Amino acid sequence: MLILLAAGLFYAAVRSYLHSEGFRQLLSGKVSKAAGVSGEFTPFRWDGLAVDTDAFRATGEGAVQGLRLDGMHTEIGLGGLRRGVWEIRDARVQRIEIAIDAAAKDALSLPPVVAEAVASAPVRTSVKQGWLPREVELHGLELGEVVLRANLAQGPVSASGIKVTVEPAGAKHSYRGELTGGSIQLPVALLPELRLDHARLRYQDGTVFLTSAALEAWSDGLITASGEWDRSTRLFSLEGDLSKLKCEEILNENWAKRLIGEINADFSAGNHSGKPQARGKLAIHHGTLTALPVLDALAAYADTRRFRTLPLSEAQASWAWEKDLVVLNEIVLASEGLMRIEGQVIVRGRELDGTLRLGLVPGALASIPGAETDVFAPGERGLLWAPLRVTGTVDKPKEDLTERLILAAGMRMLEKLPENADEVLNLTRSLLGNDPAKAVEKGAELIEKSGLDVREVSGILEGLLGSGRRKVPEPEPGAAPQPAVPEP
């Protein structure tokens, strides 16, 4: 009888404390300290050991500028009293809204903030009952909707509509969590709004482990990733894959017309160097290259359409990224039986700086005088190779091969002039047709569409045609007119 009476008195004392302002202050202090803010819960409404509250509102002067929880319900378990903890069971929050103004390293602390909102170190309160627990232990948390707005050094980040569930992972202050649904917008120009399928995390001893994540991007693109983040050092690492991404969805309007295909890539990212960086490899499947300026120029001079639209038998590169800098290494663009491009391109902001090699099958430029001997040279894979420099901007790229082709053709024709002007003229006509002026004009129009300058070649050809014509002497006054000499 005395045992039952003691148990009843103990339960009444515990219940009285739970219903007091002291317990509300305890939980308010736990959440405030975990999130680095100052705030409190609105008054609790109790039904036995179950409690509801309308909101928790807080503001802060650190990374977390504002925190609001709406519609919280939880139950207090007494099974941990012998261990000196209050058990928070089946906690549910309808909506949590977080405002952050900090560097990216602070934004990444959100998972432990959520997990430790009711599980951080003890805090002092005004309550004097020394025999009551001062720690809490989370036994399940569900966030119906997470809304995040963050201003980071790299730009704004936002997330909405994400559902979060958290449960104990065994060890003390160790948790498993899963995020599903919703959307995320990151401060990376190349990335659109990401649609979250799921992200599974584990938190233990100050480290967050991303065991798996899947996000949809663009129309059919899929991103999978895993990684970890250390709360004390603020260092993170991430790796994963990207698949089913269409070239035309990430390229600007100008390049989207030139390169089509499906991109598959892998990546690894981290900040161990002191700033966020990423690198990986990519490949384009079922690719087609159309209207590349240097290839349009080759098509115009070689009088062939083979270079205008190229099905790509191989298209790949390794890549590296950091703020405002993209480096493409080990580039390979190949169309079997015709062309191969290899080299490196650096993109700083919008500026291009590329060092490439262009390989063509023998005979592809046979109709351009001097091209296959003075500009291109035999090399590996049985191709003729020439260096190719790319400059300008992403929107208006420039190359130096066309100028060298023009110069080589002009020099080869000039070399032949002293030997046989008729041969040069016939060669020129074979390139330009019976109406040289119209042919030059047509060729100029084709190349100008690709952004290239053909004034030099026009001048060379006009000079050659002028020097090759046979002049008819003017008749003397009163003499009979001489018959026209037909041009050869």
Nearest CA to 341 out of 316, 365, 367 is that of 316
Which of 142, 161, 187 is a domain's end point?
187
How far apart CA 49 and CA 81 sit, in angstroms, is 14
The reported pTM is 0.73
Q: Specify if 12 maps to a domain.
A: no
Per-residue pLDDT band at 85 (split at 50, 70, 90): confident
Q: Which helix (H) or strand (E) holds 280?
A: strand 277-290
What is the pLDDT confidence band of residue 119, given thresholds at 50, 70 and 90?
very low
- pLDDT value at position 6? 64
Q: Please answer whether residues 265 and 241 qualify as being in contact, where contact means their C-beta atoms are separated by less than 8 angstroms.
A: yes
Position 80 scores a pLDDT of 84
Q: What is the pLDDT of residues 194-244, one digit of tens each?
A: 999 999 999 998 899 999 999 999 999 999 999 999 988 989 999 999 999
Question: pLDDT (tens digit, 9 = 90+) per residue, 6-26?
Answer: 666 777 788 888 888 989 998
- The residue among 172, 235, 233 whose CA lies nearest residue 203 is 172
If one compares 345 and 168, the residue with the highest pLDDT of the two is 345
* Domain annotation covers residue 214: no
Q: Given pLDDT bands bounded at 50, 70 and 90, which one contains residue 332?
A: very high
- Expressed as residue numbers, the domain containing 430 is 378-468
- Classify residue 383 by its DSSP letter: -
**Taking a C-beta distance cutoff of 8 angstroms, is the pair 100, 151 a contact?**
yes
Is residue 280 a part of any domain in this protein?
A: no
CA angle 208, 85, 168 (to 5 degrees): 30
Query: What is the number of structural domains in the chain?
Result: 2
Residue 69: closest CA among 46, 52, 90: 52
pLDDT in tens, 57-77: 999 888 899 999 999 999 998
